[in-house]
Amino acid sequence: MAERTRSNTVAALIAARQCEVAGLEHLGRAVKLVGVVRALIHDLQRERGASNLFVGSRGQRYAEPLQRYRADADQAEEVLHIHLAQWLTPESRAPQCSRLLGAIALVLDGLSRLPSLRAAISDQNIEAAALISRFNDLIRHLLAVVFEAADAAVDPAVSRALVCLFNLMQGKEFAGQERAIGVAGFSQGWGDATLRQMLVHRIDAQERCFRIFMEFAIPDSLELWQESMTAPCVTELERLRRVACTASAEILSAGSLDFAELWFAHATDRIDRIQAIETRLEQHLLELSEQRLAQSRAELEDTRAWSQAAVGNGAAGSKTAAVILGKPLPLDEHAHSGPWLEIERQRLEGHGALFQTSLLDLVHTQSQQLHAISDELAAARDALKERKLVEHAKALLMKHRDLTEDQAYRLLRQTAMNQNRRLAEVAEATVAMADLLRP
């Protein structure tokens, strides 16, 4: 009975390592998918801004750049379709990726509607607000793919890196929406107060995302961020923000298209600088996931080697081994340090004693690793949970109180300020009282 228990314990340890390797392999594929999605998001964000400038000028400006941006987005979309081929085969699916695949399905549906949106833009047959909204929906679904990849991460270090990248991408998307809203507003002379409210909301929302990014960022990406924030485009954009929020429509209307083009140029420069930080974070994420996968595979081989050595420990001519901190170590004529002598003493006193001590060490070490992973993953996912709660609460308010997204967010934020509570706490309470929201 004891031998069978030991054998099953060894088998369970090996199976645990195999599951860890499989999970990290899936995570590695998800990390590569995030990179492909990130490139497409950037091209669509640029196309959205240029489309607003084209529509706002009644087709007189930015027609040629808009065609280039569309071509870039089409190329990025083709790369996505090629990459998705491996996700849609039964043998490549993982049990934990159902939500991720659901998000991918929404992305593909949104991309199928992109040609009709472009046709409406080319024909000047769409309002700026509707244009922005339709691009926003598609990009939101793309960001949901990144969110699901981060939420399903099985490694704490990779999870932190994904949370960091996701929040930077989300902040950059709000910056992209700000660019599109600003182009529309300057083109129209800011005669619509709703556009100004939308602009303020996007400024506030992106700053919140950037704070979370800085909390999880690696040092070199933080340095890039600080450098980008001192660039001239940031100073000019801040000046134009003040113009948009304080100047009268009469002042702006005379040169509104010039203001719109200037706004687009400075906002694009800032967003491109943020994209450079995204690229650095993506590189770090790829390196990290590859390192963790290689480490996990090596640990699996170590566990297998140790179990084989333990089983054949009493056989004639076999080379014995022991495990220190979960690593198999051969015992040969060159082992002469203190720890090796202690291992040799245990071996000579009985194979069973060595086996049990080594096994307990391995179980204890692996248990500590699992607890550490669980704790760190919980910390990293807190940032994701807050976003999920706020989005859910906004959706409920929009549905049952007939509010726009901006109005729902402002209501949540104002409630949080009035009650001196965190936004996530107010969102959680709103979700908990969903039944009371219905008319």
Question: 67-95: per-residue pLDDT in tens?
Answer: 999 999 999 999 999 988 877 777 666 66
Alpha helix stretches (DSSP H) within 57-155: 63-84, 98-112, 114-122, 128-151
pLDDT of residue 351: 39
The residue-averaged pLDDT of 122-141 equals: 92
Question: 326-340: per-residue pLDDT in tens?
Answer: 444 444 444 333 443
Please tell me whether the overall predicted TM-score, pTM, comes out greater than 0.95 for this model. no
Contact, 159 vs 380, CB < 8 A?
yes
In sequence order, the β-bridge partners of residue 328 are 323
pLDDT of residue 373: 47
User: Which range (85-89, 165-169, 186-190) has the least confidence?
Assistant: 85-89
User: Per-residue pLDDT for 141 more than 60?
Assistant: yes
pLDDT of residue 36: 95
How far apart (Å, rounded) are the C-alpha atoms in residues 280 and 343? 46
pLDDT-based confidence at residue 364 (cuts at 50, 70, 90)? very low
User: Per-residue pLDDT for 435 more than 70?
Assistant: no
322, containing H or E segment: strand 321-324
**Extents of the domains making up the chain:** 26-295, 312-437
The residue-averaged pLDDT of 88-106 equals: 77
Instruction: Give the domain 312-437 fold.
Output: Arc Repressor Mutant, subunit A (1.10.10)
pLDDT of residue 38: 94
Of 229, 231, 259, 261, the C-alpha closest to 243 is: 259
Question: How many beta carbons lie within 10 A of that of residue 282, not counting itself?
Answer: 19
The residue-averaged pLDDT of 256-281 equals: 92
How far apart (Å, rounded) are the C-alpha atoms in residues 409 and 415? 10
User: Per-residue pLDDT for 244 more than 50?
Assistant: yes
User: Per-residue pLDDT for 31 more than 90?
Assistant: no
How far apart (Å, rounded) are the C-alpha atoms in residues 285 and 5? 40
Q: What are phi and psi of 322, to 5 degrees?
A: -135, 170
pLDDT-based confidence at residue 39 (cuts at 50, 70, 90)? very high
